[in-house]
Amino acid sequence: MYLLGLDLGSTVCKSSIFDVSGDIVCISREEFSSALSHPRRDWVEFDPNIFWHIVSRNLRNSIKAAHLSPKEIAGMSVSASGELFVPVSSNGNPVCKAIHWSDKRDAGYRKSLQIIKRFGTLRTYKITGYPFSAMPSLPKVLWLRQNRPNLFRKIGRLLLLEDFVNLRLTGNSVTDYSLAMTSQMFDITKKDWSDEILDEMKISREILPDVYPSGKPVGEVLSEASKDTGLARGTIVATGGLDQCCGALGIGVTSEGEAFNTTGTCEIVAAASDKPVLHERGLRSGIFCCPHVVENKYLLLGVLPSSGSTLKWFKETFGEVESREAERNGSDPYSLIVEKAADSQPGSGGIFMLPHFDGSGSGIAPAFNSESKGVFFGLTLSSRKSDIIRALLEGITFEARLYFEALEELGLKVRKVKAMGGGAKSKLWLQMKADIFGKKVVLPDVIEGSSLGAALLAGLSCGVYSSVKRATSEICKYQTILAPSRKRLMLYNEYYRLFKGMYPVCLPLFKSM
């Protein structure tokens, strides 16, 4: 018997098939950046039809590659990035393109944010766990109603990415708590859409999907969807969750004391909590409080919008030599770039890098400041490419330490950190994380944690696993544990202090520019 986890990231979807002991059978990846378009400056739109086309091909390819009968797949569920919502008509067809979470039209949703501010920033945070920013669905929904009233009237449902796939597969519009949270309309304590917010914003509950806990059956794969995706008719589709929460489950970050750090397109630091934590201090630091995909647990997250994307930027701007070399050898250009950092030393020869290439993130106030930018500080004629690359990695990792610090100030203890995402592929970077965080860093055996978490939720929904605890204790395996070096930790403590001083000092400059 097998389980399928479909992970919908920022630009890549991955369909992974696991056996019941959590070993991966096959994984199929597909870029869906062709679904994204930039019709104007600061606008980012998303075509749900192109997306569905790619997702269904992706599912088909993975089932084909696994050389098994589709019937052997007992269930599947979706791990999805949040915020983005697809407005569909009552018959389930997209009304228009979806607005991407990174969209910054109308000067970053100025008017929408004013409305939310009027309702109360802290009040919104205490209900939704979502810190004030233009990222969640709510400001975009308000924009759509204000600026495209005719379209808005045609909306039957507003579906988050998971719900849209669930609808296509089963005919049912269902989301889960963790993804619902990214709408900024969900009461994470009551675990229901927030009447207070919906009333104030005059949004009808009717157009929102049903909300289930994660790992509950949504329905069965319909025959049309079966043709599209290669999944067998009748396959159980279960509620999945926000990719970060699925990832946490997949690597066993399910209860207080456990944490992870994902270095993907974004940089994420998250720790599990036994209760919602909704302090003003968390709002100031831009910490997200999200219902976990594990019942009655929460996940507190700090996010930097640009992490792997900054490395990608570096590769595209200054990595032509490494890219060519990688092409010749069939190796990975990112690895070639990252490994260059070994030629430098902790402290990167005096170079400090502020990794706000897409604005600031969580951590230090002001959080999510789109005025903040990337800075390379401390360059000299002796600075080498390896120093600059190391400064880039260190800058991102110092920033992640800020978030751990914020989480600990909110009362969460973090004992060890599980590493995920593309950045976890590099031993050098993992050791740097251990040395900078001053914590043990654990490398899970499955790097595709989000897919595994989704598969696990599917397994829970169809009775393959009796409980989360049982499932994770069997399934979550670890490769390596890296301990911090005391000597480097001492050094990095000093550099971290300096790094921390950079953002406040640069703020007035960002403001004037």
CB of 313 to a second copy, least distance (A): 5
Nearer to a second copy, 230 or 395 (CB): 395
Asked whether the beta carbons of 296 and 215 are under 8 A apart, the reply is: no
CB of 179 to a second copy, least distance (A): 26
Q: Is 378 in the site for a second copy (CB under 8 A)?
A: yes
CB of 11 to a second copy, least distance (A): 13
Contacts of 174 (CB under 8 A, 6+ apart): 163, 166, 209, 210, 211, 212, 218, 219, 239
Count the residues of the shown chain that bind a second copy, applying the rule CB under 8 A.
35
Q: How far is CA 320 from CA 215, 317, 384, 472, in A?
A: 45, 7, 16, 42
Q: Is 104 in the site for a second copy (CB under 8 A)?
A: no
Nearer to a second copy, 168 or 340 (CB): 340
In this chain, which of 224, 320, 408, 474 binds a second copy, going by CB under 8 A? 320
β-pair type (267-273, 258-263): antiparallel
Cα–Cα distance for residue pair 506/342, rounded to 1 Å: 29
Q: Is 39 in the site for a second copy (CB under 8 A)?
A: no
Q: Is 410 in the site for a second copy (CB under 8 A)?
A: no
Cα–Cα distance for residue pair 263/419, rounded to 1 Å: 8
Provide the H-helix boundaries in 70-160. Answer: 105-119, 121-128, 137-147, 149-153
CB of 264 to a second copy, least distance (A): 14
Nearer to a second copy, 21 or 513 (CB): 513
CB of 9 to a second copy, least distance (A): 17
CB of 248 to a second copy, least distance (A): 27
Take residue 492 and report the two structure tokens written for it.
């990095």
CB of 407 to a second copy, least distance (A): 26
Take residue 509 and report the two structure tokens written for it.
């400059």
Nearer to a second copy, 91 or 317 (CB): 317
CB of 352 to a second copy, least distance (A): 7
The footprint of a second copy on residues 386-405 (CB under 8 A) is 388
Q: Is 191 in the site for a second copy (CB under 8 A)?
A: no
Asked whether the beta carbons of 286 and 133 are under 8 A apart, the reply is: yes
Q: Is 12 in the site for a second copy (CB under 8 A)?
A: no
Q: Which stretch binds a second copy (CB under 8 A): 46-54, 275-283, 402-410, 502-510?
A: 502-510
Q: How far is CA 2 from CA 80, 166, 321, in A?
A: 20, 19, 43
Beta bridge mates, 27? 16
- Which H or E run contains 418? strand 416-420
- For tokens 């499955």, the residue is 446
Cα–Cα distance for residue pair 492/485, rounded to 1 Å: 10
CB of 86 to a second copy, least distance (A): 25
In this chain, which of 50, 122, 315, 377 binds a second copy, going by CB under 8 A? 377
Nearer to a second copy, 254 or 310 (CB): 310
The footprint of a second copy on residues 325-364 (CB under 8 A) is 350, 352, 357-358
Take residue 53 and report the two structure tokens written for it.
């086309």
- Which H or E run contains 473? helix 468-475
Q: Is 385 in the site for a second copy (CB under 8 A)?
A: yes
Q: Is 384 in the site for a second copy (CB under 8 A)?
A: yes
Cα–Cα distance for residue pair 433/125, rounded to 1 Å: 30
Angle (CA) 441 271 443, round 5°? 25
Nearer to a second copy, 29 or 315 (CB): 315
Nearer to a second copy, 1 or 505 (CB): 505
Cα–Cα distance for residue pair 3/473, rounded to 1 Å: 17
Binding interface with a second copy (CB under 8 A): 306, 309-310, 313, 317-318, 320-321, 350, 352, 357-358, 373-381, 383-385, 388, 498, 501-502, 505-506, 508-510, 512-513
